[in-house]
Amino acid sequence: MYPYHNKIKQRIKNNELTGYEYVDTYKKISPCLLLYFSTEPMLRPIRKHRFDEYESILKDIVFSKNQK
pLDDT in tens, 16-68: 999 999 999 999 999 999 999 999 999 999 999 999 999 999 998 876 666 55
Of 41, 40, 8, 34, give the one whose Cα is nearest residue 19: 34
Question: Tell me, what's the pLDDT at 54?
Answer: 96
Per-residue pLDDT, 61: 81
Q: What is the pTM (predicted TM-score) of this model?
A: 0.87
DSSP 7-43: HHHHHHHTT-EEEEEEES-BTTBSSEEEEEESSSS-E
